Chains A and B, each alone.
Chain A
Amino acid sequence: MSAPARAWSVRRPQVLRVLWLTLVWILLWGTFSWANLIGGLVVAVGVLVVFPLPAVTSGGRVRPLALLRVVLDVARDLAVSSVQVAWQSVRPGPPIRSSIVAVEVPDDSELLMALLVECLSLVPGSVVVEASAAERTLWAHVLGVEDDAGVERFRRQVSRLVTDLMAAGVHRVRVEPEHSGRSGAGTDPRDDPDEEGPR
């Protein structure tokens, strides 16, 4: 954050974060007024000063429309998979079997990995149990997958999601290395990039 050459590319994500927090503040109050806007800006700047997020640099543009398409796809998948899991919960019969499937990711971007974990823990009947951006691999527990065809189907869904996310340019946003290694104890699945990822 010190090098002046990176000033612009570092400042822009900060501005987006302030705007996003201000929007949340206004929604919480329910009405728009200048007092709410100014109060929200003050609170947002205060929050970001007290709890700084890791600095990110963007090597290229993130495309909002492509990102919107991902959001719509995930929404549709959520409808399908929640009905599916609901049926798997109530159907009679023996205990359901599952698989833990390793999926390779074509890029080691941490934001891409964080968004994949976020989406895959919500949608196609899966929960990510382990992810490593350095190894470009994530492992997902998929409910009800009992054969290789099911594994293939899951892999196809993941690769479609990866393609869409990369079309949105998500993998070009990179976390600055200076903020690594906080909080230790091995319980730190980078949940901070998640929080502001969808923006």
Chain B
Amino acid sequence: MSTAGFLLTVALAVLGLSLLLVTVRFVRGPSALDRLVSLDAIVAVIMCALMAHVALTRDSSTVPAIVAVSLVGFLGSSTVARFVGRRGDGEDR
């Protein structure tokens, strides 16, 4: 158990670092599409971290939440993409 536990803790640390980097891109932009792409990546990293947490604690009560996040994430990003497209430009916002 301890080997797997150690590895999973390392994975969580790596995911935390990725979340930080992706958030930097989200804040810096510069275009709305950059923010959309990085928001997608933020959702994906959070899903990975939730799963690593499930694996570490063997407590699967957050699994339905992961399913919900994956569904809502796709709906959100495709809706925003359509909204950005309808406005006619994706730059300078």
Contacts and interface: CB of A to CB of B under 8 A. Distances in A.
Direct contact between the two chains A and B in their complex (CB within 8 A): yes
A185 B84 CA distance: 11
Interface residues of A, number: 5
A185 B67 contact: no
A187 B83 CA distance: 9
Contacts, number: 9
B85 A28 contact: no
A190 to B, nearest CB: 13
A187 B82 contact: yes
Nearest to B81: A187
A119 B67 CA distance: 23
Given A186-B85, A187-B82, A187-B86, 4 more contacts: A185-B85, A185-B86, A187-B81, A191-B78
Nearest to A188: B82
Contacts of B81: 187
A28 B70 CA distance: 13
A187 B85 contact: yes
Interface of B: 67, 78, 81-82, 85-86
A92 B82 CA distance: 35
B14 to A, nearest CB: 13
Contacts of A185: 85-86
List 5 tightest A-B contacts by C-beta distance, closest first: A187-B85, A185-B86, A187-B82, A187-B86, A28-B67
A70 to B, nearest CB: 22
B21 to A, nearest CB: 11
B20 to A, nearest CB: 16
B32 to A, nearest CB: 14
Nearest to B71: A28
Contacts of A186: 85
Contacts of A191: 78
Contacts of A187: 81-82, 85-86
Interface string A29-73: 000000000000000000000000000000000000000000000
Nearest to B82: A187
Contacts of B78: 191
A185 B81 CA distance: 13
Residue among B67, B81, B86 with max Cβ neighbours from chain A (10 Å): B86
A191 B78 CA distance: 10
Interface in A14-37: 28
A28 B65 CA distance: 12
